[in-house]
């Protein structure tokens, strides 16, 4: 297929560009349906006249339907999207990028989805679908899954299908909760994932940035000890990645602490730990749950994050995880390659 793609790109490059454009239009409609033409044009960043022409073609082919609420994808259109996915992956050379990053970082596996969620928010949904599919394939009975919060992990849970062929799954939050958005907190996502897996869940109601005395008192509670034991027994950890200073502010750290973290070279944050460019932890948020020293013993370690702006943060958090799995997008992956080189 690779040779065929090279010939197509050299002989009929306009055909390849047209294919990508129509694929992006179909994918954007799929994730926003029902959607109007103006909203679609804005999401894609192209003119309404061009969108109108392509919509007429896609409707004539039976890939979309146009109704009063807006455009929707037909079953034929959904089939085309799924079949084109691998083709677009090869067309953009993502298999080579996957191999380069995997070999250089000594990762267990890496999956790159086309696009950049900094520029197209629907790509975040693609990341969620890829991560959900990977998790579904590796799950087995009696697994203990620890997950962090965040919008990217929420996308994974949203895209997770119902699973009933595995038994006795336990889902736990990886760390104490943070933030005002209940929908993206680890406790909420743990309960939702457990429901989809027909498993059980435990909650950890402990905020970040507690004083040492407060943490010590909470840890002595029997219920907290019980969930901490479950968290330490996790054989799967799925986590999102944030940029260090942005996450420090979201966690409510004082400005002097944020400045110190920045001076120490922190660029990425995951499960309450702040990593420098070499993958070393320079600071850890006072909370309870998974700690960086424990992740080496976890069987399946999944980092799920995308966007070119997060590339350095992602690289920092996965650099020393030799049992790690990275699920990201093309925007982040291409920037990660630049940092490695």
Residue 109 has pLDDT above 60, yes or no: yes
Residue 291 has pLDDT above 80, yes or no: no
- pLDDT at residue number 161: 92
Which uninterrupted H or E stretch holds 236?
Answer: strand 236-239
List of residues 6+ apart from 72 with CB closer than 8 A? 29, 33, 34, 64, 65
Helix (H, G, I), strand (E, B) or coil at 162: coil
Which uninterrupted H or E stretch holds 22?
Answer: helix 13-32
Residue 310 and residue 241 in contact, taking contact as beta carbons nearer than 8 Å: yes
Residue 238 has pLDDT above 70, yes or no: yes
- pLDDT at residue number 323: 78
Which uninterrupted H or E stretch holds 327?
Answer: strand 324-329
Residue 305, CA atoms < 13 Å, CB-side half-sphere = 27
The fold adopted by the segment(s) 2-91 is Arc Repressor Mutant, subunit A (1.10.10)
Reduce the secondary structure of 28-92 to three states and give it as a string.
HHHHHCCECHHHHHHHHCCCHHHHHHHHHHHHHCCCEEEECCEEEECHHHHHHHHHHHHHHHHHC
pLDDT tens for 132-178 read 999 999 999 999 999 999 999 999 999 999 988 899 999 999 987 65
Radius of gyration of the chain (CA): 21
Residue 1 has pLDDT above 60, yes or no: no
* Crossing angle of the two packed helices 75-91 and 13-32, in degrees rounded to 10: 130
Which uninterrupted H or E stretch holds 242?
Answer: strand 242-243
The angle subtended at Cα 247 by Cα 112 and Cα 190, nearest 5°, is 65
Q: 138: phi > 0 → left, psi -120 to 50 → alpha, else beta; which?
A: alpha
Residue 207 has pLDDT above 90, yes or no: no
Residue 179 has pLDDT above 60, yes or no: no
Which residues are bridge partners to 113 per DSSP? 329
Average predicted confidence (pLDDT) for the chain = 88
Domain ranges across the chain: 2-91, 94-340
- pLDDT at residue number 6: 63
Helix (H, G, I), strand (E, B) or coil at 168: coil
3.40.50.720, 3.40.50.1360, 3.20.20.20, 3.40.640.10: CATH of 94-340: 3.40.50.1360
Residue 300 has pLDDT above 60, yes or no: yes
Cis check: omega of the bond before 124, within 30 degrees of 0: no
Please report which confidence band the pLDDT of residue 9 belongs to, taking 50, 70 and 90 as the band edges: low
> Between residues 117 and 44, which one has the greater pLDDT?
117
User: Nearest CA to 340 among 6, 110, 90, 92?
Assistant: 110
Residue 133, CA atoms < 13 Å, CB-side half-sphere = 9
* Crossing angle of the two packed helices 2-11 and 75-91, in degrees rounded to 10: 90
């Amino acid at each position: 297929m690779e040779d065929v793609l090279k010939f197509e790109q050299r002989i009929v490059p306009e055909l390849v560009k047209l294919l990508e454009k129509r694929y992006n239009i179909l994918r954007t409609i799929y994730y926003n349906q029902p959607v109007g033409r103006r909203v679609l044009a804005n999401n894609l960043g192209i003119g309404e006249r061009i969108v109108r022409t392509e919509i007429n073609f896609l409707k004539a082919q039976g890939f979309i339907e146009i109704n009063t609420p807006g455009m929707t994808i037909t079953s034929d259109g959904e089939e085309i999207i799924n079949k084109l996915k691998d083709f677009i992956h090869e067309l953009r050379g993502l298999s080579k990028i996957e191999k380069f990053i995997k070999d250089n970082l000594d990762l267990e596996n890496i999956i790159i989805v086309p696009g950049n969620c900094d520029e197209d928010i629907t790509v975040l949904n693609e990341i969620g679908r890829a991560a959900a599919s990977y998790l579904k394939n590796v799950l087995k009975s009696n697994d203990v899954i620890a997950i962090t919060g965040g919008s990217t992990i929420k996308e994974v849970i949203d895209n997770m299908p119902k699973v009933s062929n595995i038994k006795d799954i336990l889902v736990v939050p990886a760390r104490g909760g943070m933030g005002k958005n209940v929908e993206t907190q680890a406790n909420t996502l743990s309960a939702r994932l457990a429901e989809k897996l027909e498993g059980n869940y435990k909650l950890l109601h402990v905020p970040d940035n507690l004083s040492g005395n407060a943490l010590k008192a909470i840890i002595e509670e029997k219920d907290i000890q019980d969930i901490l034991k479950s968290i330490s027994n996790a054989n799967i950890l799925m986590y999102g990645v944030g940029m260090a200073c942005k996450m420090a502010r979201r966690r409510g750290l004082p400005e002097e602490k944020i400045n110190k973290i920045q001076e120490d070279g922190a660029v990425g944050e995951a499960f309450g730990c702040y990593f420098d460019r070499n993958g070393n932890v320079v600071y850890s948020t006072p909370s309870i749950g998974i700690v960086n020293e424990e992740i080496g013993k976890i069987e399946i370690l999944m980092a799920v994050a995308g966007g070119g702006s997060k590339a350095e943060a992602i690289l920092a958090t996965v650099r020393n995880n030799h049992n790690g799995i990275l699920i990201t997008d093309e925007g982040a992956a291409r920037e990660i390659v630049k940092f490695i080189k």
